[in-house]
């Protein structure tokens, strides 16, 4: 890790793509364990991970008479399994194949008396390889893993404040291991039209009108780290709304607004730039879709009083 702590470190995708892919698979394994053993929650929120002061966690997972938690420590670079009876297991995060990581994690859980069978095929990933067979993804650069954590931590702090401005139904600020993004979602309270041919996950995720925003390391058309925002279903006129900062743009193919992370970190006040993006894209969607903003938003004088 760098000797000087940077809250908004550089995170060029080209420098850590191999580590990103490996960490993506590792978080999928841990996330699937949480999904398998946790009771279902609306919109699949029982499957996500959460940002902590040192990395990411599953939060407590029920298992018979006990609970356990799996934490990625991206400062000391360990995976920790902590059980409510005081038992602890640690696996080092280092250069190792996904197959080895999967095998060692399953063995560690079994040694703690925890059995869990998961579907071992990765999701939302190109050319997927079953975890137990994946010897292709093995890179782990601790510097970039830690930088990724610091970006998540800084982003989550702003997103939590943004979430607090809304008194309607909202998701937590949580990490989706399938798409590998940190997200927060607001709901209008109205049912959305059914999506024809949608799989069960998508159908429930978008059962109601939403405006969602988050951070993503990038891939494909957006080939670097970026913040995103979208409305689903997308209301007429959403793409033509004015959003800020000036560097934000709308992708017609992805039907989302984007603000590159590098533009945020290089701004004079990164927190302000990110909040402007979150707020202006929300207003773009809420106004276009005619949400009842007065009923859904915390009064501005309360927000101002807190900020002061």
Residues 1-9 have a mean pLDDT of 74
Instruction: Count other C-beta atoms under 10 Å from residue 294's C-beta.
Output: 7
Tell me, what's the pLDDT at 306?
Answer: 52
Mean pLDDT of the chain: 95
Distances (CA, A) of 274 to 6, 120, 207, 296: 17, 36, 28, 21
Summarised one tens digit per residue, pLDDT across range 97-141 is 999 999 999 999 999 999 999 999 999 999 999 999 999 999 999
Q: How many CB atoms lie within 10 A of CB 219?
A: 16
What residue segments make up the domains of the chain, in order of their start? 13-133, 152-307
Residue 303 binned pLDDT confidence (cut-offs 50, 70, 90): low
Exposed / middle / buried, residue 234 (Cβ in 10 Å: 0-12, 13-18, 19+): middle
pLDDT bucket at 307, cuts 50 / 70 / 90: very low
Q: Which two tokens stand for residue 211?
A: 């405006």
Rounded CA-CA distance 29/101 in Å is 9
């Amino acid at each position: 890790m760098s000797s000087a702590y940077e809250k908004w470190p550089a995170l060029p995708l080209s420098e850590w793509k191999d580590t990103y892919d490996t960490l993506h698979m590792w978080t999928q394994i841990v996330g699937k364990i949480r999904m398998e053993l946790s009771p279902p929650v609306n919109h699949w929120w029982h499957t996500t991970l959460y940002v902590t002061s040192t990395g990411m966690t599953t939060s407590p997972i029920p298992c018979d008479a006990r609970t356990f938690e799996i934490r990625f420590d991206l400062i000391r670079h360990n995976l920790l399994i902590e059980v409510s009876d005081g038992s602890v297991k640690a696996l080092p995060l280092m250069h190792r194949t996904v197959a080895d990581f999967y095998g060692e994690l399953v063995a560690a859980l079994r040694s703690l008396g925890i059995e869990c069978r998961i579907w071992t095929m990765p999701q939302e990933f190109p050319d997927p390889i079953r975890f137990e067979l994946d010897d292709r993804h093995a890179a782990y650069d601790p510097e970039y893993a830690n930088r990724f954590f610091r970006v998540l931590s800084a982003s989550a702090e702003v997103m939590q404040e943004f979430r607090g401005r809304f008194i309607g139904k909202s998701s937590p600020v949580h990490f989706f291991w399938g798409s590998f993004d940190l997200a927060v979602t607001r709901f209008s309270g109205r049912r959305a039209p059914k999506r024809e041919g949608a799989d069960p996950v998508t159908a429930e995720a978008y059962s109601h009108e939403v405006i969602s925003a988050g951070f993503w390391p990038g891939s494909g058309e957006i080939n670097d780290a970026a913040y995103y925002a979208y409305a689903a279903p997308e209301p007429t006129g959403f793409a033509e709304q004015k959003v800020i900062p000036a560097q934000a743009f709308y992708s017609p193919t992805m039907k989302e607004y984007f603000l590159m992370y590098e533009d945020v970190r290089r701004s004079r006040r990164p927190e302000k730039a990110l909040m402007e993006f979150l707020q202006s894209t929300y207003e773009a969607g809420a106004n276009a879709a005619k949400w009842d903003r007065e009923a859904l938003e915390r009064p501005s004088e309360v927000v101002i009083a807190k900020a002061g």
